[in-house]
A and B are shown apart, each in its own frame.
Chain A
Amino acid sequence: MGSRASSLLREEEIEEIKKETGFSHSQITRLYSRFTSLDKGENGTLGREDFQRIPELAINPLGDRIINAFFPEGEDQVNFRGFMRTLAHFRPIEDNEKNKDPTASEPLNSRINKLLFAFQLYDLDRDDKISRDELLQVLRMMVLRMMVGVNISDEQLGSIADRTIQEADQNGDNSISFNEFIKVLEKVDVEQKMSIRFLH
């Protein structure tokens, strides 16, 4: 319901969000309008079912994990600040941000934070390690196993998981830590793959 779009979002809040996330004024207003249109219960927060109502997200194999990423530990509702904070990870990295003051805290859309977002999609129990089980779980979500013509059995997935961990694991604990994850992905253009072009 767009008619409440600008009226419920105060200027001070917009400024705070701008500072925290780096989105522009008009982007924040538009995203707020989107937030309210998803909020069918009209109580200022989104629950998991609000996200699941989006068909394109519901058919995404990793849909549930992505939805999870929006909700802080143990909570069932996310407010607009939290929503924006998560979306901020997908802001493209601009050139003038690269030379910021090194003592300032890492912006939400830095390469490290984008990698952390991806890492947390794997690491369900948030113990800062991707175990073989967790990797296998994600593989199972992305793949169609019982299909004629494309034969990927559970054993094959298991061996893929084993191989991946073998390649990445450096300290021999049979799981992938965040630093090992970063190493594996150092050649990947994370800035481009994990960015969404927000229009002004």
Chain B
Amino acid sequence: MGWFLIPFDNLLCMVLGISFTVGFSSLLVIVVPAVLGVSIGIRRLYMKSLLKVFEWATVRMERGAKEKNQHLYKPYSNGIIAKELSSLEQEIQELRASGTTLSSEPEFEMADIMYFCRRGVESIVDDEVTKRFSAQELESWNLLTRSNFNARHISLRLSVLWGLGLFIRYGFLLPLRVTLAASGIGLLVVLTTIVGFIPSGWLRTYLSEKIHLMSYRICVRSLTAIITYHNSENKPKNGGICVANHTTPIDVIILANDGCYSMVGQIHGGLIGVVQRAMVKSSPHIWFERSEVKDRHLVAERLSNHVADKTKHPILIFPEGTCINNTSVMMFKKGSFEIGCTFYPVAIKYDPRFGDAFWNSSKFGMVNYLLRMMSSWAIVCSVWYLPPMSREEGEDAVQFANRVKAAIATQGGLVDLLWDGGLKRGKVKNTFKEEQQKLYSKVLVGDQEDQGEDRPQEDEEEEEGDQNEDRPLEDYTPRPLEDCSLRLQEEEEERGSETPMKDQ
């Protein structure tokens, strides 16, 4: 019985041998430059070849669709509908002109409901907020099942290509990346703990910086992240706060790859907690206990103390408070903008063609998400460092936050929204509905005075209302400042959303 196992034995040995050799050499080729801080350019070459393959795939699919005389499903880059841009006042005035005339008392037309009705149905068909919480749709297929809409048009050749892609991604890239990630994190923990024993001083800071940078470089390679940094002369300096738009926990790795930051966030248990505790031994990060997170004054105090000390690294903050899908920037929470120091805005824009980086925490847990990231082709993004900004005279925290947000949105080519990212989970506040009712009441009574004190002129913003400092964030757990990489608590909340939420 044993005689026919021998060739298999040999075959098995050979296969194992080859895979180990290939794996090990790839690891070397990747890790050594990471440690030394140089780049060979393999990833960019990889990216260019992938792009060519995707284009070819799309062309074939279009050809296939044309043969069958059908349309290729192209997601709406221009929108499903063209929305009317007139305001409530304008529309109602038009109705007054065309409808039956009444006396000078409050005028009401039965047709008034048509305005609200149409706006309501428009928002059912296409609204600005809900589409920000799911992954962006792509124009062309990138050989990943997860982003495929035109399953009917795939020819045999394309299927073969897809199968090959699947094998490469799961059989070769994924194990490689997981090994890299594990070694990166492992190195970080071990080395920072060791450096923690060195007494505070020049040597310790220097070593700690080098270690952090090196580990992040390895992590970046473990995701095959191809990052382009623009305007590095504006890189955040010590004693400032760096604010960026938030798409995924990986944002942290992407920014920390290029400079040293102090992270802010809640201490977690488990593996992440271990990493956090190790990191803080060698350089001053700001971790909070669960109980301290809700205490705004304590948080603000610790942040202020940190920025006052010019030897400490800039703080990294994501003021949106939650992950948005990288097509827009949502409301910045004003808490961090009350601190008086220089702010360094950073815009991060991902290229979704190689793998969508957005973390949809209601759909995927952290582990699932990381697996998806590591089995995509690559993560390609651009980082723009914007010129530093500070709060001006007479500008309050909210206005300043909006100014910074607008700058980031313009640079990154993202839509600037006033809506709160917390709407991902929570309900919208009734105050916004009251704004609408207020508007209509004024028209009814024939109030021709200037519109409300703090109302901006554009139509979009009329409906969204503005944040008012006196309104507490009652509909969802207040999260003054957060580092999304420590988002395990989101996962817990997701699981706990079916059962009553325990007070955190």
In the complex, B467 has a CB within 8 A of chain A: no
Hey, which chain B residues are within 8 Å of A27, CB to CB? 80
Hey, which chain B residues are within 8 Å of A117, CB to CB? 117
Which of A56, A57, A156, A197 is packed against the most chain B CB atoms within 10 Å? Answer: A56
Which of A55, A57, A143 is packed against the most chain B CB atoms within 10 Å? Answer: A55
With contacts A61-B436, A167-B100 known, is A56 near B81, CB below 8 A?
Answer: no
Chain A residue nearest to B145 (CB atoms) is A3
A121/B80 in contact, CB under 8 A: no
Contact of A187 among B99, B419, B432, B433 (CB under 8 A): B99
In the complex, A100 has a CB within 8 A of chain B: no
Hey, which chain A residues are within 8 Å of B203, CB to CB? none
Alpha-carbon gap, A151 to B441, bound state (A): 9
With contacts A56-B127, A56-B129, A147-B438 known, is A188 near B111, CB below 8 A?
Answer: yes
Hey, which chain B residues are within 8 Å of A163, CB to CB? 102, 105
With contacts A167-B100, A198-B81 known, is A121 near B127, CB below 8 A?
Answer: no
State the Cβ distance, A142 to closest chain B Cβ, in Å: 5
In the complex, B124 has a CB within 8 A of chain A: yes
In the complex, A104 has a CB within 8 A of chain B: no
Hey, which chain A residues are within 8 Å of B455, CB to CB? none
In the complex, B304 has a CB within 8 A of chain A: no
In the complex, A93 has a CB within 8 A of chain B: no
Alpha-carbon gap, A1 to B363, bound state (A): 10
CB within 8 Å of B: which of A104-124?
Answer: 117-118, 121-122
Which of B34-42, B149-157, B241-249, B407-415 is the contact stretch?
B149-157
CB within 8 Å of B: which of A150-200?
Answer: 150-152, 156, 159-160, 163-164, 167-168, 176, 181, 184-185, 187-190, 193-199
Contact of B120 among A33, A38, A57, A147 (CB under 8 A): A57
| Chain A 23-66: CB-based contact to B (< 8 A → 1; otherwise 0) | 00111011101100110000000000001111111111111001
In the complex, B106 has a CB within 8 A of chain A: yes
A138/B106 in contact, CB under 8 A: no
Hey, which chain A residues are within 8 Å of B82, CB to CB? 197, 199
Interface, chain A (partner B; CB < 8 A): 1-3, 5-7, 25-27, 29-31, 33-34, 37-38, 51-63, 66, 87, 90, 117-118, 121-122, 138-139, 142-145, 147, 150-152, 156, 159-160, 163-164, 167-168, 176, 181, 184-185, 187-190, 193-199
A194/B73 in contact, CB under 8 A: no
With contacts A59-B432, A121-B117 known, is A199 near B81, CB below 8 A?
Answer: yes
With contacts A30-B76, A56-B463 known, is A194 near B117, CB below 8 A?
Answer: yes
Chain B residue nearest to A176 (CB atoms) is B110
Which of B281-289, B290-298, B442-450 is the contact stretch?
B442-450
In the complex, B148 has a CB within 8 A of chain A: yes
B441/A152 in contact, CB under 8 A: yes
A156/B106 in contact, CB under 8 A: yes
A150/B113 in contact, CB under 8 A: no
Contact of B99 among A5, A56, A138, A188 (CB under 8 A): A188
Chain B residue nearest to A167 (CB atoms) is B100
Contact of B129 among A25, A54, A195 (CB under 8 A): A54
Chain B residue nearest to A195 (CB atoms) is B118
| Chain B 303-322: CB-based contact to A (< 8 A → 1; otherwise 0) | 00000000000000000000
B117/A118 in contact, CB under 8 A: yes
With contacts A1-B134, A142-B112 known, is A150 near B123, CB below 8 A?
Answer: no
In the complex, B194 has a CB within 8 A of chain A: no
Alpha-carbon gap, A74 to B440, bound state (A): 31
19 A-B contact pairs sorted by A residue (CB < 8 Å): A2-B75, A3-B149, A33-B137, A55-B127, A56-B123, A56-B129, A57-B127, A60-B120, A90-B118, A117-B117, A122-B113, A144-B437, A147-B441, A160-B108, A164-B110, A187-B98, A190-B114, A193-B91, A198-B80
A194/B118 in contact, CB under 8 A: yes
Contact of A6 among B73, B84, B435, B438 (CB under 8 A): B73
State the Cβ distance, B500 to closest chain A Cβ, in Å: 18
Which of B116, B129, B137 is packed against the most chain A CB atoms within 10 Å? Answer: B116
In the complex, B55 has a CB within 8 A of chain A: no
Contacts A118-B117, A144-B434 known; 15 new A-B pairs at CB < 8 A:
A2-B75, A25-B71, A54-B123, A55-B130, A60-B433, A117-B117, A122-B110, A139-B108, A160-B105, A163-B102, A167-B100, A185-B99, A190-B111, A193-B95, A194-B118
Hey, which chain B residues are within 8 Å of A188, CB to CB? 95, 98-99, 109, 111, 114
A55/B117 in contact, CB under 8 A: no
State the Cβ distance, B14 to closest chain A Cβ, in Å: 39
Contact of A185 among B111, B120, B127 (CB under 8 A): B111
Hey, which chain A residues are within 8 Å of B427, CB to CB? 52, 58
Hey, which chain A residues are within 8 Å of B106, CB to CB? 152, 156, 160
Hey, which chain A residues are within 8 Å of B423, CB to CB? 55
CB within 8 Å of A: which of B64-84?
Answer: 71, 73, 75-76, 78-84
State the Cβ distance, B70 to closest chain A Cβ, in Å: 8
A150/B447 in contact, CB under 8 A: yes
A164/B81 in contact, CB under 8 A: no
B128/A56 in contact, CB under 8 A: yes
State the Cβ distance, B105 to closest chain A Cβ, in Å: 8
B99/A3 in contact, CB under 8 A: no
A54/B73 in contact, CB under 8 A: no
In the complex, B126 has a CB within 8 A of chain A: yes
Hey, which chain B residues are within 8 Å of A26, CB to CB? 71
Contact of B113 among A37, A142, A197 (CB under 8 A): A142
With contacts A5-B149, A87-B121, A187-B100 known, is A181 near B81, CB below 8 A?
Answer: no
A30/B147 in contact, CB under 8 A: no
State the Cβ distance, A94 to closest chain B Cβ, in Å: 16
Chain B residue nearest to A29 (CB atoms) is B73
Hey, which chain A residues are within 8 Å of B145, CB to CB? 3
